[in-house]
Structure 1
Amino acid sequence: MNIMVFICAQSFFKAEIMEWFSDIKNSKIDLSIIIPMYNVEDYIIETLNSMRGVRGFKVELILVDDGSTDNTLNLAKEWANSSDFDTFILSKENGGHQ
């Protein structure tokens, strides 16, 4: 059984996310978690580390950056590179929601 959790996602990422979902529809991922990010460098690592508490599922993280102007994106990339999770990062210029 697959479970997908949408924490939040902006509509301007919809095409990229839907294309990506169609690519993985036959995978064995149990839990997909989408985490939106915008200028959250002060707590993005704490948020991502909290995902390590998820047990009993194969977890996939989808990080959606809305054009952060601080160090959010770099911190998320560094965390993803050192994580055991399948982590995907989508990043675009800010869509006007701040």
Structure 2
Amino acid sequence: MMTYYTVVFFVIMYMSGLWLFCSKRKHLLMALLSLEYMVLWIFVMFMMYFMFFDHGLYFLIVYLVFSVCEGALGLGILVKMVRCYGNDYFQSFVILRC
């Protein structure tokens, strides 16, 4: 059973991931890690919601597929950026290079 404190805990954990995403915007790797952290907490909130109201859990599988695809695309962009520019700083982005 979801109590008020459980919901507050989930919201605080999600907001800490959002704060981390906003504060570490200079590094692509830290931005991707904080996005994955937020995706994980959204997954936990969905799972608790669906288990509490006794809905089907098939939506969670679809959500996990999309979150894995998002993570793979982010890693692909990170690898391409490191190979072309040598680091993951957004400040070293030059359009004419690579």
Which of the five TM-score ranges fits, normalised by the shorter chain? under 0.3
The structure where helix makes up a greater share of residues is 2
TM-score normalised by length of structure 1: 0.28
Q: Which protein shows a greater Rg?
A: 2
TM-score normalised according to structure 2 size? 0.28
